[in-house]
Amino acid sequence: MAASGLAAALAGGCRSQTQVVAPVTNVYLAGAGAPQPVNNVEFLDQYAATYRFSLGRPTAVQVTPDDKTVLFLRAAGPRSFVQDLWAFDVATGQEKVLLTAEKILGGGKEQLTAEELARRERMRSASRGIASYAISKDGSKVVVPLSGRLFVIDLEAARAGTPKVQELKSEAGFPIDPRLSPDGARLACVREGEVYVTDLASGTEKKLTSGAGGAVSNGLAEFVAQEEMDRFAGYWWSPANDAIAYQRTDTSPEETFFIADPVHPETAPTPWPYPRAGKANAKVTLFVQALAGGAPVEVSWDHEVYPYLARVDWPEHGRMTILVQNRAQTEQVLYAVDPASGSTTELLRERDAEWINLNAGPKWLDNGKSFLWMTEQAPGSDEWSLQVRRADGGVVRTLGVPGVAISGVIDVDEKRGTVRVSATAEPTEAHVMEVTLDGGVPKDSAITRATASRGVHGATFGRGHGTWVHTYSLADGSMGSEVIRADGSKAGELRSIAEEPSIRPGVEFFEVGKEKFRAMVIKPRDFDPAKKYPVINSVYGGPHVQVVRAAARGYLLQQWLADQGFIVVSIDGRGTPGRGRAWERAIKYDVMSLPLEDQARAMGLLAEMVPQMDMSRAGISGWSFGGYFSAMATMRRPDVFKAGIAGAPVCDWRDYDTHYTERYMGLPQQCEAGYDHASVLTYCKDLTVPLLIIHGTADDNVYFMHSLKMTGALFRAGRQFEFLPLAGFTHSVPDPVVIKELQSRTVQFFRKHLGGPRGK
């Protein structure tokens, strides 16, 4: 499910359908008077046109294996979605462009298929031009897809100033997910549901797989893998360059949903297979196909017990593995695979009475005799832990120290005997730390911080493990990407050409209650301590998302909203990540009751610490799960929340996808009462405060039917509400005009129903 808040709705691409903002259906009759104009509309213009000030910032950063070059994408301008490929020279600190979309297309319009648009939607990408690239394992070549064409760049020649760009011609369809073989001699991609391989020396293309058509595809990850498992790959090169493992997906068991363009009823609806909770998933199998030919080898496991193929890894050293889950996601098994026979051997099995969170999969060490494994099942720990395991799956030791949560592996440098990890002792922060591989029993000295400033830090290393790119967004509002050499010296910054915002957020962080809920408060920049202000809770409140982070630049829109005469707050309650297993899993079978209690109680505690918060005039606003939360808050706790905005809300969990929903709620057939209790439809009759519902008609994540069912139930119950359908928009809204109007509508709605600052 997507990230939180209305701001998060502005974080993804949209289909090529006509997009129109429909007139608001206002059936809430309370209030009167013309809406007042918003303040500082110049910032809103800038925020919308720059895509939240992200356009022009370096993205998709990769370090070449020789540590000499940092590759990255950057938009052509601070208000352009069209990206180009750039290279930063570590020795000189200079950057230069390697390939531009404009040069390749010659000013022509980029063409994308519905499948590629859907893939970018899953990846929350609104980029155009060079939206992605892949580098060969040896770093000699880079492949770039652009408008249905494929280009291969000789990186050494490009460094020397004599770039060689080879276009790969094909008679087949649009290429999806192009990737070079480990030796850089071949390129694979998916065209029209089949895996194709091109020999770069001869330019000869070969169709490697067969049998695709209708509901069957080869080499593509299915919907839930992309949307919920964070797995976008559907095929994997062998380290010997002589075979490819590929996923075969049959969506015929799934329901077919249809998305129509309401502005153009003459256009046929687009069909999409969708795995609704409690109903059938796509059937996923895995095969290994030798490039030399012959019959594909099917990888065997019990598909009935473990229908989810969560991870596939085929490392240079170590064993090919697959990670599979049961449908309830209470058990997962890591199997080693024999590619020649397809047989599997169990390496480890994990169980959890509530659910298992997916990790990134095993990271094999270069000796092939052991691997690193992230787990929440380590004895005596309530947090994620990092283990060293033997090739047979047995535990060797656990790395790290108590009280420091390790959230992921960044880099493994066996020569130095260290593992770089993302970790923190404070849930609002993320730091780059080093853990010793041979540290024995963990001690304080076994983990060291590579970053210090309060904020959210990340790192990107290449296979050389020397040069790295340090990305940061700090509590003081600073952010950037700096290149660090192996000796620790700074080579320079990956230059940003993004516009700087005209305002800076003034974020105050709090810990409230015995649970120490993490919370943030933003006041107007012209704050008058002698006045009482209406309060807006910018909420998500659901699994796998934190809204309170020590990264001030993430709160620009909240600061602008506060400047309209509100105090804006955000709170992370139970069910959110970063606070241990018990905290996160407290919501099993009921994703709303405890989180709603936490938000209401924490707001009251915040008001005691910030007496200018007028809790008699509190509103709530969110998107996706946050939209669901806002709708439920207005219906179930009108004593606290006097108005709400629900953007793209889930209405009934029976209508959301299997892998997300059943993880927290179980199957509907086994928990009917729980699904009823968690459904907005159950409480529509109780709405007594103003509620604005916003939804894109082309949403293929939280389908438009959710809001239609909600508004239908509200209407039948005689409740009053406002409804704003966004014709042609998906779960994300990148259009600058619509961004501006949505934020203006937000301010006008809350001003109308909550008022403005008042004297005490």
Instruction: Please report, as a single letter, which amino acid is at residue 493.
Output: E
Query: For residues 173 and 186, what is the distance between their CA atoms, to the nearest angstrom?
Result: 18
Half-sphere exposure of 14 (CA within 13 A, CB side): 24
Task: Please report, for residues 113, 215, 217, 244, 343, the alpha-carbon distance to residue 234 in angstroms, rounded to integers and kept in the order given.
Answer: 18, 16, 10, 10, 20
Query: Which of these, 640, 749, 743, 651, lies nearest to 692 by C-alpha position?
Result: 749
602: tokens are: 């924490």
Q: Tell me if 554 sits within 8 A of 354, measured CB to CB.
A: no
Q: Tell me if 98 sits within 8 A of 72, measured CB to CB.
A: no
339: left (phi over 0), alpha (psi -120 to 50) or beta: alpha
Q: Please tell me whether residue 745 adopts helix, strand or coil conformation.
A: helix
Q: Where are the alpha helices (DSSP H) in 208-349?
A: 223-227
Query: For residues 498 and 110, what is the distance between their CA atoms, to the nearest angstrom?
Result: 23
Query: For residues 629 and 642, what is the distance between their CA atoms, to the nearest angstrom?
Result: 14
For the chain, the residue count is: 760
Long-range contacts of 383-386 (CB under 8 A, 24+ apart): 383/580, 383/581, 384/359, 386/419, 386/421, 386/435
Query: Which of these, 342, 351, 393, lies nearest to 372 by C-alpha position?
Result: 393
Q: Tell me if 751 sits within 8 A of 36, measured CB to CB.
A: yes
Report strand pairing: 308-313 vs 468-474.
unpaired
Task: Please report, for residues 134, 206, 269, 592, the alpha-carbon distance to residue 201 in angstroms, rounded to integers and kept in the order given.
Answer: 18, 13, 43, 58
Dihedrals φ, ψ of 661, to 5°? -65, -50
253: left (phi over 0), alpha (psi -120 to 50) or beta: alpha
Query: For residues 416 and 507, what is the distance between their CA atoms, to the nearest angstrom?
Result: 39
Query: For residues 339 and 259, what is the distance between their CA atoms, to the nearest angstrom?
Result: 40
Q: Tell me if 45 sits within 8 A of 57, measured CB to CB.
A: no
Dihedrals φ, ψ of 197, to 5°? -130, 130
Query: For residues 230 and 118, what is the distance between their CA atoms, to the nearest angstrom?
Result: 14
Query: For residues 1 and 64, what is the distance between their CA atoms, to the nearest angstrom?
Result: 33
Q: Tell me if 85 sits within 8 A of 135, measured CB to CB.
A: no
Task: Please report, for residues 626, 649, 690, 709, the alpha-carbon distance to residue 645 in angstroms, rounded to integers and kept in the order given.
Answer: 9, 10, 9, 17
Query: For residues 426 and 420, what is the distance between their CA atoms, to the nearest angstrom?
Result: 18
211: left (phi over 0), alpha (psi -120 to 50) or beta: left
Q: Tell me if 279 sits within 8 A of 251, measured CB to CB.
A: no
Residues with catalytic roles: 624, 699, 731
Q: How far apart are the first and last CA of the chain?
A: 41
Query: Which of these, 530, 550, 527, 546, lies nearest to 538 by C-alpha position?
Result: 546
